[in-house]
Structure formats: C-alpha cells, structure tokens
Structure 1
Amino acid sequence: MNFKDLTNKTLIADNEIDWEDLGAGVRRKIMAYDDKLMLVKVEFEKNAVGTIHNHPHLQLSYVAKGSFEVTMGDDKKTLNEGDVFFAPTMVFHGLVCLEPGLLIDVFNPHREDFLK
C-alpha cells in the first residue's frame, strides 16, 4: 500500500502496510493520515538512536513496547511501556532505545517530509 492509499482511509489493517527501513536499527509504518493528523509506528532495535531534532509539528509518542531514554529540551528521562512523551512545536527532542521497542507517534499536522 502506498502513502496516497492511506489518505482519509478509515479502516486500516496493520498487515496491509509495509515497514520502511530507515537504517541504523529503526523502521516505521505510516498507518493513517490526513492534512491535520498522522499516526506512525516506529520500531527500534536496542541501542538505536532517534537523533536530537525539532519540527513545527506537535508530537505525542506512546511507548507501546520497550524502554527509551528520552531527551526533551533540557530534560532527560527513561520511559517504559505505557508511558508517553509530548514534543511541543520546535522543542528539540530525541531518544536512545534501551531495549527493543515500539513507539506510536501522532503528529499534528501530518509530516509532509515522511511522505516523500
């Protein structure tokens, strides 16, 4: 399934979407999106890094599996399964995966850069 097939789709089966290999032990699936909202699964191998970055999007990330050391601005904390982090607009954030993990990321608006 390509990204255009996901636009405004309302019933989505996980097995219909392929993983995108981002390298360095990270891969993602764009599960659904429209102009205002996007949900993405991001899988990390142990010791994989989500490089410190910022963006104009609001981001909520739910730790579905694993353990992550998350940096948010000047704060750093270990988050585990069931925990959440919120990245406000333009705040620098990143993480290191401490054990194999899965994040469920929600962005507002959608990440146009992910669709290229």
Structure 2
Amino acid sequence: MPFINYNTKKIVQIWDGISGTIAHSEQGTYCRFTIENGTILPEHSHVHEQWCHVLEGELEFNINGEKQLLTSGMSAFIPSWAPHSAKAFTECKVMDCFTPVREDFVELERKQVELE
C-alpha cells in the first residue's frame, strides 16, 4: 500500500484531547493528529524516536528541559527515551512519525475496531 489517505481512515482517540488517524509501515508509525486547545501532555518517554511537525496551531514542547513554542512549519525531534511534554495553546494539527512502530497504537486501533 504505497499511498495513505488520512482523510478516510478511522479516527482513533489516543489520549484526552488528542485524536487522529494512523498508518504503519514495517519500520514506523505515521500519524495525523488534532490536539485540542489547552491540552497538556504530561512528561513521559518511550523507546521510539519521534518527529512532530506542526501543520497548524501553537504547540509548546519541553524536551529534556528545553522549551520551544512551535508554530506552522516547525518540527520537534524527540530522541529515544528523552523525557518530553507538550501544551497546546490553540487547536493544533500535527504529523507525528515514530520509529520503531508504535505497537501501543496498533493495539488501540485494534480495540476500537472491536468496539464498533
């Protein structure tokens, strides 16, 4: 499947205030998320390298204690196991890319399909 249409994929609720569509390759997970205004993502870390690219909105990231307000056209790179958190100052549209595959997101998708 060389092409993905995020407009027609099922929306998955990731956390409170964060939802979107997800695709997986053998090596990574690619997501188009909407983050609601005021959403706070508490500090956490994971094995995955992550790129977060802001398409719309204002999203502040704290990565290893370094803060940056990201706006349209800006990206954050989060190394494997780096503690990070985020806060949406407006509704945001982002593309997140994770390596390796987010198996927890695969499981979330599976569970939501079972509930339908």
Report the TM-score, using the length of structure 2 for normalisation: 0.85
Q: 2:16 & 2:51 partners in 1: Cα distance?
A: 23
Structure 1 gaps of 5+ residues are 1-8
The letter of the residue matching 2:79 is P
Instruction: State which of 45, 50, 55 in structure 2 corresponds to 1:64.
Output: 55
Report the TM-score, using the length of structure 1 for normalisation: 0.85
With over 3 angstroms needed to count, the CA separation of the structure-2 counterparts of 1:23 and 1:109, relative to structure 1, is closer
Whichever structure has more strand as a proportion of its residues is 1
Q: 2:7 & 2:81 partners in 1: Cα distance?
A: 33
The letter of the residue matching 1:39 is Y
The answer for the alignment partner of 1:54 in structure 2 is 45
- Alignment: residue pair count: 107
Structure 2 gaps of 5+ residues are 108-116
Secondary structure (helix, strand or coil) at the match of 2:91 reads strand
CA RMSD of aligned residues (A): 1.3
Percent identity over paired residues:
24
After TM superposition, the structure 1 = structure 2 runs for residues 10-89 of structure 1, keeping only pairs within 5 Å, are 10-30=2-22, 32-89=23-80
Instruction: State which of 85, 97, 103 in structure 1 corresponds to 2:94.
Output: 103
Secondary structure (helix, strand or coil) at the match of 1:16 reads coil
Contact persistence 2:6–2:32 (CA under 8 A): no
Secondary structure (helix, strand or coil) at the match of 2:80 reads coil
With over 3 angstroms needed to count, the CA separation of the structure-2 counterparts of 1:23 and 1:84, relative to structure 1, is closer
CA distances 1:33-80 after superposition (whole Å, capped 9, x unpaired): 122122111111110122211011111110011001111011111111
Contact persistence 2:49–2:98 (CA under 8 A): yes
- Shift of residue 101 of structure 1? 0.3
